[in-house]
Structure 1
Amino acid sequence: MMSFGRITALRGPAAIAVGLAALVAGIVLAAWTERSLGNYQLALQLHGGGVVDLGHSMEPQDGLQGRMVRISGTPRVVEAPYDSDFNQQAVTPVLSRHVQMFQWRELRLGSNVTYELDWADTPQDSSRFAQPQGHANPGPFPLAGERFDAGSVELGGYKLDTALVHALPGSEPVAPDAKTLPANLAASFSLHDGALVTSARPGDPRLGDMRVSWSAVPLQEVTVIARVDGNRLVAVPNADDGKGYEVNVGDSALLDMRPDMAAQPTLVWPRRILAVLLAVLGMGLLLRQRDATRIDPRLALGGGLLVVGVFAAMPWLGSSTAAAIAWFVVALAGLALLVWWHRASRPRHHQHH
């Protein structure tokens, strides 16, 4: 490798070539470092902050208050959800009741209109049918679908906030327990194919018959990214991504859930210093006076700081005023050195009386 002394001793085209290469390398390194750092900080801002990866070590720890954490494990239902209307309960974070009625439905295929009786989870307005006569539906449902949340769901030692409970993925059918039905409903409903139906002959429903079924969010391993608030995990309020949390099925790595976090740059300050040194070397070779025997340090340093400061500030424009100003100050320092060098190098004219 060529020594620093031999590089600075280069003359003519060789000095220009090496100077340009060093200057371009310094500019690219500075701009790339600042852009990657800016992108990472934007990702932090978008999601609500950096994440402490706790893995399966899920007990509350000192120093985590207000921090974002990643935790994996299977949620534990402390207080199971309860459908008091039907006296149904299941060990699940969320229990959902689905209500359907056997109704006429209008099917259109081009200009062809046909009608069929089928289960539908919303009232079908037969008054809007092309042929309402003979296809009249009963109207509003006597029962409504509803969602029932568990009173408390924990992941490790943390209680999950409502938003996180609602974000838990998946759904599986829950067979109702006909034995626990209140007396008034037990007289109307019977168990058929995993649901409660009002049909006299469950396999042959008639217009207006009701069918009620339930589904539950399964208890399975999940990974949660959320903010620690005491012994609770909560969403970050007013996060730029509109959520402030992440929930995935299984033991998901942080970078799988937040790919933009992969851009976290390392060795930021060594890269910045190297960028300045390369630019200083390049400017020193390019700006050296033809008859100079060595590189002027003020000229080289001033030019290097000016160029790196300007190009390093550009990625921050529009995202971080403070970072942009800091780099423009570096550029101004370089400009001040160049002005100083220029004034110091001017020949002095003595006035004769």
Structure 2
Amino acid sequence: MRISSMNHIWSVVQTSYSRLAVGCLVLLLAVILLVWNETNAVQMTRSLDEGQHLVVPLASADAVAAEHDGKVVHVSGELVTSPPLRDLLYGVEIDAVRLKRRVQMYQWIEDPNEGLDVEISPGDASPLRPPAPSYSTAWKDKLVDSGLFSVPYGHDNPTSFPLQSEIQTAETVKIGNYLLSSEILETFTKFEPFSGDEEPSGGDVKLHAGMYYHTSDIFSPRVGDLRVQFYYAGHASTSYSIVGTLEGSTIKPYRSSGGQELVLLQEGTQGADAVLATHHKRASRAAWGLRLVAFTLLCAAVALLLPLLQVLACACGLPRDTGGGSGGRLTVSLAATLNLAVVAGCWCLDRPLLALMLGVLALYPPVKWGW
């Protein structure tokens, strides 16, 4: 590499130092994200494939199969919960895995961007002032600190909730005669709204549209008024299918040989293969989402580093417009090559054929354009 080329490279580094530094940081972040994502994807695939080989389908949920103690099992059946979940304050009761009480308070909120603009008359030399914030009221799940408002006077919010949101979980939940562990119960997060049939006796509580209002006027609430709504997850008598480790009469999350703990629970009556396939699809969607984010970051990094890369290409005897296209085309090509190379490296042990195909695709732009 000639001295003039070195001087040219050094000149680019000096004039674009900030841009190149940001580009290096973005590149590092993209590679770390990509490696982390692919490592997790590989681990998840290993665990699910291992579970598919180990799982023992149980013929019935009505009797505990003691001979399969310690094994990975699959069972389907209706949920049985006890005792019923209750909220005595509102007379609500339901047979379900979880009962959620959501409490909201009517409070002042500030919007700094929707105030009235300050008009400046022609010839007025005074500095431009930002618009004054606007204030409105809304139902909020958390306290809004009115002390932080630009104009707190006249917009005072309460400093605490007189009633707290909470989630109750049933003491005993079974599929047939198989008890589900507490770790599995925590995964019931698909909440559906419901309400009681009658207003609580006494007080100022009013039932309207499935919600309980602590207010004198439902249609004109005051700051500090409350409204409460109830939700349930995992209604009793609903059919579920699960793949997990059987310990005695309790089904616990499946733990792979690699140490990954998975809750493989699916609503409906499904076979073991279907349950595992569903979780494969979920993991794949999550992995592809992060791959897209990582690829976008790689494109941004290459775009920031492009001036230096072009100078290096010239110094190595390659044309400045390597790739025969625009900077955008070159950026995407380089980012794709890096992306595919990293993914191929992560999958080489578990999916060698896939890794080989990705490696060939990664080499396509350099071979085609003679990098």
Q: Structure 1-normalised TM-score?
A: 0.55
CA distance 1:138–1:240, change in 2 (3 Å): farther
Q: Which residue of 1 aligns with 2:171?
A: 151
Q: CA deviation at 1:52?
A: 1.2
- Cα shift readout 1:281-340 (whole Å, capped 9, x = no counterpart): xxxxxxxxxxxxxxxxxxxxxxxxxxxxxxxxx959xxxxxxxxxxxxxxxxxxxxxxxx
Q: CA deviation at 1:240?
A: 5.0
Secondary structure at the counterpart of residue 142 of structure 1: coil
What is the identity, as a one-letter code, of the residue corresponding to 2:150? A
1:130-149 alignment runs, 5 A limit: 130-149=150-169
Matching of residue 68 in structure 1 with residue 84 in structure 2:
no
- 1:230 pairs with 248, 265, 272, which one? 248
- 1:121 pairs with 141, 149, 153, which one? 141
1:92-111 alignment runs, 5 A limit: 92-109=96-113
What is the identity, as a one-letter code, of the residue corresponding to 1:208? G
Structure showing greater Rg: 1
Q: CA deviation at 1:157?
A: 1.2
Q: Percent identity?
A: 23
CA distance 1:117–1:90, change in 2 (3 Å): same
What is the identity, as a one-letter code, of the residue corresponding to 1:80? P
Residues in 1 aligned to 2:149 and 2:168: alpha-carbon distance in whole angstroms: 35
Contiguous gaps of at least 5 residues in structure 2:
1-41, 115-129, 281-347, 351-371
- Cα shift readout 1:33-89 (whole Å, capped 9, x = no counterpart): xxxxx9999426976982112265553113111111122222122311222444432
- 1:250 pairs with 268, 272, 279, which one? 268
Q: CA deviation at 1:116?
A: 1.4
Secondary structure at the counterpart of residue 186 of structure 2: helix
Residues in 2 aligned to 1:260 and 1:85: alpha-carbon distance in whole angstroms: 40
Secondary structure at the counterpart of residue 217 of structure 2: coil
- Cα shift readout 1:263-296 (whole Å, capped 9, x = no counterpart): xxxxxxxxxxxxxxxxxxxxxxxxxxxxxxxxxx
What is the identity, as a one-letter code, of the residue corresponding to 2:67? G
Residues in 2 aligned to 1:250 and 1:260: alpha-carbon distance in whole angstroms: 12
Q: Which residue of 2 aligns with 1:267?
A: none
Residues in 1 aligned to 2:160 and 2:256: alpha-carbon distance in whole angstroms: 38
Residues in 1 aligned to 2:265 and 2:101: alpha-carbon distance in whole angstroms: 23
- 1:82 pairs with 86, 90, 114, which one? 86
Q: Which residue of 1 aligns with 2:319?
A: none
- Cα shift readout 1:15-41 (whole Å, capped 9, x = no counterpart): xxxxxxxxxxxxxxxxxxxxxxx9999
Q: How many residues are matched?
A: 224
CA distance 1:41–1:221, change in 2 (3 Å): closer
Q: Which residue of 1 aligns with 2:47?
A: 43
- 2:224 pairs with 208, 212, 223, which one? 208
Q: CA deviation at 1:129?
A: 1.8
1:240-279 alignment runs, 5 A limit: 242-259=260-277
CA distance 1:98–1:150, change in 2 (3 Å): same
- Cα shift readout 1:149-192 (whole Å, capped 9, x = no counterpart): 1121110111111221222352211213545x4x6xx3131212
Secondary structure at the counterpart of residue 74 of structure 1: strand
CA distance 1:222–1:83, change in 2 (3 Å): same
Q: Which residue of 2 aligns with 1:198?
A: 214
Residues in 2 aligned to 1:157 and 1:207: alpha-carbon distance in whole angstroms: 50
Secondary structure at the counterpart of residue 63 of structure 1: helix
What is the identity, as a one-letter code, of the residue corresponding to 2:220? D
**Partners of 2:245 and 2:255 within 8 A in 1:** no
**Partners of 1:51 and 1:70 within 8 A in 2:** yes
Pairwise CA RMSD: 3.4
What is the identity, as a one-letter code, of the residue corresponding to 1:99? V
Residues in 2 aligned to 1:146 and 1:53: alpha-carbon distance in whole angstroms: 37
CA distance 1:86–1:242, change in 2 (3 Å): farther
What is the identity, as a one-letter code, of the residue corresponding to 1:210? L
CA distance 1:50–1:77, change in 2 (3 Å): same
CA distance 1:39–1:102, change in 2 (3 Å): closer
1:294-309 alignment runs, 5 A limit: none
Q: Which residue of 2 aligns with 1:187?
A: 203
Q: CA deviation at 1:104?
A: 0.8
**Partners of 1:95 and 1:215 within 8 A in 2:** yes
Q: Which residue of 2 aligns with 1:331?
A: none
Contiguous gaps of at least 5 residues in structure 1:
1-37, 263-313, 317-353
**Partners of 2:52 and 2:276 within 8 A in 1:** no
Q: Which residue of 2 aligns with 1:167?
A: 187
Residues in 2 aligned to 1:73 and 1:149: alpha-carbon distance in whole angstroms: 20
